């Protein structure tokens, strides 16, 4: 076996170790979104179904507000102490947050403490996730060969799709064998408990990670204090702002086609819960296909062509696709529309994530990536289910989430053009670093 084959095998093992831990981050968020209507009944009871679901989605969204805090603290920790140590911490915190929600008694048992505990669990999950995606993406970017960075980094998002598939399959099995009544009473807790049970295995797998050679080579250059890291970020504030807009489309689209789909399909389209979970599992499989394909393609033709084309396609198609769906409601049409948005998400994200890692200052790469990504999720993506529910409720137009998707596409289109134009941040960083 030659050196190139040996490195490929070693890198494949590292990708698996990173992705396996990243699986839990998305699994926990997906499960909460999938069971939001049941969580609303148990922890946020109200005489108004709209108010109850909105409170559940707001609790879902509030977890994302902790992401920038987690990005600063844990992202800074990774830049100072290493990617490996930071990824072990994020995994542990995510597990605690999930367990908190899984075992919390309902509102009928402990009153106002129930929603308070659930929100605390969501805050812990959000704090952890603030650096998980950034840490995993940066780790993969730093171990990848120069001509395969897009393909390597795409597996960070691909692992999240495995989580979406697993959560979707859980939903199908639970509703098929237990029925809606039992799932609404206590069965929804089973997927959360499963997430807790796999943590020890994921922790053992992730402990075997080696630190990246690039971090070791630059460790002496990294700012030693968090204040110095934040100063570096302030000096590069334009990159952080543009990076957040750059991420906007991927996070809005993703949480629409995963976390919001079960509620939208059941409450708005009046399809069965079983149908909605089947669609979600299909979407996860589609995402899993498109992400590495787009990542590899971006290594061949560059990031910019993919980013510009896909954002434009979403800009002009999001509302028409939603309009078609709500006026021609069927399981088949829901699958068609969701697969289109899956293609949009997977194609864009496959090129976007590696691009985001490449525009960040090397000394604070984990912090910069995590902060930009977390701001985008906190402001835009995490509240997509709540925003979509509100738009439909206030306008009476079930296709209105398409407008929100188009707004996100426009922001990311402009950010992509600015970052990747000739002489832009991407080109300057590539010329100075590579």
pLDDT digits (tens, 9 = 90+) for 133-186: 777 787 788 878 888 888 888 888 888 788 878 877 887 788 778 887 888 788
Residue 423 has a pLDDT of: 60
Q: Distance between CA atoms of 167 and 183, rounded to whole angstroms?
A: 14
Q: 330 and 273 in contact (C-beta within 8 Å)?
A: no
Distances (CA, A) of 430 to 174, 204, 210, 358, 406: 49, 36, 26, 7, 30
- For the cut 70, the answer to whether the pLDDT of residue 418 exceeds it is yes
Question: For the structural domain made of 16-206+224-433, what CATH number should be given?
Answer: 1.20.1250.20
Quick one: three-class SS letters along 24-49?
HHHHHHHHHHHCHHHHHHHHCCCCCH
Q: 56 and 36 in contact (C-beta within 8 Å)?
A: yes
- What own/partner pairs with CB < 8 Å and gap ≥ 24 does 117-120 have? 118/39, 118/43, 118/59, 119/59, 119/62
Residue 103 has a pLDDT of: 87
Select the highest-mean-pLDDT range: 227-231, 265-269, 420-424. Answer: 265-269
The residue to which tokens 């919001």 are assigned: 260
- For the cut 50, the answer to whether the pLDDT of residue 110 exceeds it is yes
Burial 143-171, CB ≥16 within 10 A → b, else e: bbeeeebbbbbbbbbbbbbbbbbbbbbbb
Range 297-301 average pLDDT: 93
Select the highest-mean-pLDDT range: 28-37, 54-63, 286-295. Answer: 286-295
Out of 119-128, 220-229, 298-307, 312-321, least confident range: 220-229
Residue 250 has a pLDDT of: 93
Residue 295, both tokens: 């990542």
Q: What angle do CA 246, 354, 151 make, to 5 degrees?
A: 140
**pTM for this model (two decimals):** 0.78
Structural domain boundaries in the chain: 16-206+224-433
DSSP state of 175: H
Q: Distance between CA atoms of 297 and 303, rounded to whole angstroms?
A: 8
Q: Distance between CA atoms of 398 and 411, rounded to whole angstroms?
A: 23
Nearest one of 315, 278, 275, 303 to 405, comparing CA atoms: 315
């Amino acid at each position: 076996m030659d050196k190139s084959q040996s490195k490929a095998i070693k890198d494949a093992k590292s990708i698996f170790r990173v992705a396996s831990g990243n699986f839990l981050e998305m699994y926990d968020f997906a499960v909460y979104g999938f069971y939001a209507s049941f969580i609303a009944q148990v922890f946020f009871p109200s005489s108004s179904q709209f108010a109850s679901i909105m409170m559940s989605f707001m609790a879902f969204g509030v977890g994302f507000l902790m992401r920038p805090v987690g990005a600063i603290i844990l992202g800074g920790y990774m830049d100072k102490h290493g990617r490996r140590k930071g990824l072990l911490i994020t995994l542990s915190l995510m597990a605690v947050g999930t367990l908190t929600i899984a075992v919390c008694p309902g509102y009928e048992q402990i009153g106002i403490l129930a929603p308070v505990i659930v929100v605390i669990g969501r805050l812990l999950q959000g704090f952890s996730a603030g650096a998980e995606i950034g840490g995993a993406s940066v780790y993969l970017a730093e171990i990848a060969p120069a001509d395969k960075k897009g393909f390597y980094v795409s597996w960070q998002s691909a692992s999240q799709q495995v989580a979406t598939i697993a959560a979707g399959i859980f939903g199908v099995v639970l509703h098929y064998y237990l029925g809606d009544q039992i799932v609404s009473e206590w069965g929804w807790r089973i997927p959360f408990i499963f997430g807790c049970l796999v943590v020890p295995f994921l922790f053992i797998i992730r402990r075997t990670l080696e630190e990246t050679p690039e971090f070791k080579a630059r460790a002496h250059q990294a700012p030693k204090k968090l204040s110095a890291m934040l100063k570096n970020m302030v000096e590069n504030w334009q990159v952080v702002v543009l990076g957040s807009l750059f991420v906007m489309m991927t996070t809005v689209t993703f949480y629409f086609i995963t976390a919001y789909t079960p509620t939208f399909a059941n409450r708005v389209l009046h399809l069965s819960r079983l149908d909605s979970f089947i669609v979600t599992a299909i979407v996860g499989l589609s995402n899993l296909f498109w992400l590495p394909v787009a990542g590899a393609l971006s290594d061949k033709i560059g990031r910019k062509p993919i980013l510009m084309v896909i954002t434009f396609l979403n800009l002009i198609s999001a509302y028409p696709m939603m309009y078609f769906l709500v006026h021609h409601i069927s399981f088949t049409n829901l699958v068609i529309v969701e697969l289109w948005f899956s293609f949009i998400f997977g194609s864009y994200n496959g090129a976007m994530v590696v691009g985001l890692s490449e525009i960040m200052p090397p000394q604070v790469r984990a912090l910069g990536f995590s902060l930009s990504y977390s701001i985008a999720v906190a402001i835009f993506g995490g509240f997509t289910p709540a925003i979509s529910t509100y738009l439909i409720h206030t306008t009476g137009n079930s296709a209105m989430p398409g407008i929100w998707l188009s707004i996100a596409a426009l922001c990311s289109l402009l950010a992509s053009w600015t970052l990747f134009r000739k002489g832009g941040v991407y080109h300057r960083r590539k010329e100075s670093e590579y």
